[in-house]
A and B are shown apart, each in its own frame.
Chain A
Amino acid sequence: MSEILWQILQHVQGYIYPNEVEVNWSVLIALYPYITGLVAGAFIVASLERIFKVEAVKPTYRLALLTALAFLLCAPLPLVAHLGHPERALEIMMTPHLSSAMAGFGFVYAWYLMAVLLIELYFDYRRDIVMWSQEVGGIKGFIYKILTLGDYNISDEAVKADNKIVNIVTVIGLPSAAFLHGYVGFIFGSVKANHWWSSPLMPIIFLFSAMVSGIALVLLIYIASSYIRGVELDRACTDTLANYLLYAYLLDLSLEFMELAHLFYTQEEGIDAIRVLITDKLFWTFIVIQVFLGTLVPIFLLILARTGIFRFNVRKWIYIFVTTLTLIGVFAMRWNVVIGGQLISKTYLGYTTYIMPLFGPESLSLALAIWILPFIILAVLIKLLPPWEHPHEWEKTETE
């Protein structure tokens, strides 16, 4: 680490406090809100269908839930890997200091994982799991037997009851998902010492960009998995998700605009430093990637796709392109908040630089590994709990 600090010292501009050379929250901490954002966003896609009864997106309901779970399981990894003393990580739950926004993480996380996502998945899949446990043998069958938790009752009544539970959990889950991510935004927004972070809008901005990224992720995984399985895309589903992506984008854009407008209009102390931060230090990641490629271009293309001048085959490619850009753009947003906020000195008189090591702790390779892991987990989950086999089970029993 020290060698990199020597290097960074050469790039320090203006005057910064001597302790500020090191960027303390690294790429891993940028990855953390990115992943929790994807969780919240994917869950919101699933809830769309359950709560708001958006028929069209049904084919992605279970896929979205599994995606949320896969990413949620990985959400604490960047945090723990980043700690100076990872072996003490559990202290945050054993002896939490409750005035700290961060102390709630373990509880919010556990609540969302245990009380929402796992319960919802269990009751949604229960009937299928029971059936699979009877059909399949070997290790897989054994796993299904465990997953039934000993409850083999799949009478109509039981399944109906399952459904009710899922509906209730979804209603609890939606605000929980919003809270999980809004809360991450609060961790940054409440740091008054940092002008680039300190804003009451921060949790809401985080939430809406989470929705954007979550919808994009589910859409992209849906397209990719259909391709892999050799199945036709459900057009209504694809187009509807793309529409929701557009709406989420428009809300997200207006919030971010409001935030910037407020910053520049009120012209509080440090505004000159922030101007330089945006136009110089973060030019590529903020102006080019986040705003232009990650927001304006996708919005433009989504509107274009909506006009209906393209055939579905072309639209499909537009969606692939747009969702990829979105995922990159939202990561850039996290990067600009987390890393960007530390480049600017609390003196407002200077800047440090961030150099990301390729290997070792808090490095690019570790971040990539943590980023790939949820996809592997998702693949396993999909193998174990195929989200497409009986996609409309719960709905059938309701109408029967």
Chain B
Amino acid sequence: MVSRRKFLAVIAAVAGFASFKRRVAAQEPVEGYDWNRHKYAFVVDTTRCIGCGRCVRACKIENEVPMKPFYFRTWVERWVWLKDEEGPKVDSPNGGFDGFPPTYDERMISKSYYVPKLCNHCDRPPCVQVCPVGATYKTKDGVVLVDEKYCIGCRYCIQACPYGARYLYPADGPRETRRNTADKCTWCYHRITRGYKPACVEVCPVGARKFGDLMDPEDEVRKIIEERRVQVLKPDMGTLPQVYYIELDSEVR
């Protein structure tokens, strides 16, 4: 198992940025797109993720997220349970951007897994509730977006998100119009409204990230949510997240 993961990780690392080609310029949804006819959801399969970090790199490039280790629209965590130790060990060096160095002695590990994280596009999003000017809003197709032309940069939404999914786009970030406003994962709204998958889903070499439309009866994601046992993060917060995890450990939050 471990060796397969390592093998894939190496392949993925080699593939790196270069393989990620189908880039769409970040912009508004295409004309003719009808958001009443979609309801999106995201599935993360924690049994598959190998921690290669391709998704993190793809996201940063696709969405002009600053390359510094404080700003992430998505990141990957490594959860490790060591023998004879009570709590888990968690890390996410640079958000998993460069993959994960083998930190632990493998003989001491009782279980370990990677958990990709992103905005949960909550159905009851606290970030939307608290935004004083309505710059953060939920679209009809289920995506939570920030209007960078409207956001005043008060950062209330960053405080309100229980998942650490938001950050303030820095004053020296590459995308000028977004500077000093709240930023977060958009499920690559500019891509999905054109029928593409989000960048992270597209590049995942093992299919650990899946994106789909709940209004489409043939959709893989819809079937997974209907047929398999899935779990969301911090369900007790009452936020009704729309990112579903397959085989999530209850400790993960």
Contacts and interface: CB of A to CB of B under 8 A. Distances in A.
Interface of A: 1-2, 5, 9, 15-22, 24-25, 79, 82-86, 88-89, 91-92, 95-97, 99-103, 105, 187, 191-194, 342, 345-349
Contact of B132 (A5, A86, A103, A349): A103
A50 B153 CA distance: 41
B164 A19 contact: yes
A334 to B, nearest CB: 16
19 contacts: A2-B70, A17-B117, A18-B92, A19-B158, A19-B164, A20-B164, A21-B69, A83-B153, A92-B152, A96-B132, A97-B131, A102-B132, A191-B159, A192-B237, A193-B162, A193-B237, A346-B162, A347-B90, A347-B164
B168 A24 contact: yes
Majority secondary structure, B binding face: loop
A347 B166 CA distance: 14
A23 to B, nearest CB: 10
A89 B131 contact: no
A273 B95 CA distance: 22
Contacts of A83: 152-154
B172 A2 contact: yes
Interface of B: 68-72, 75, 77, 87, 90-92, 94-95, 117, 126, 128-134, 150-156, 158-168, 170-172, 179-181, 237-238, 253
A342 B159 CA distance: 8
Contacts, number: 130
Contacts of A5: 68, 70
A99 B150 CA distance: 17
A18 B164 contact: yes
A339 to B, nearest CB: 12
A64 to B, nearest CB: 31
Nearest to A97: B134
Contacts of A345: 164
A91 B159 contact: no
B253 A92 contact: no
Given A97-B133, A102-B130, A193-B126, A84 B164 contact: no
Contacts of B94: 18
A382 B133 CA distance: 38
B69 A9 contact: yes
Contact of B129 (A17, A22, A100): A100
B133 A19 contact: no
Contacts of A1: 170-171
Contacts of A82: 154
Given A18-B92, A19-B71, A85 B129 contact: no
A91 B133 contact: yes
Contacts of B253: 347-348
A20 B162 CA distance: 11
B171 A100 contact: no
Nearest to A345: B164
Q: Which of B92, B164, B171 has the most CB of A within 10 A?
A: B164
A340 to B, nearest CB: 13
A169 to B, nearest CB: 28
Q: Which of A82, A86, A88 has the most CB of B within 10 A?
A: A88
A2 B172 CA distance: 9
A25 B72 CA distance: 19
A396 to B, nearest CB: 47
Nearest to B76: A18
Contacts of A192: 126, 160, 162, 237-238
Contacts of B129: 99-100
A124 B95 CA distance: 61
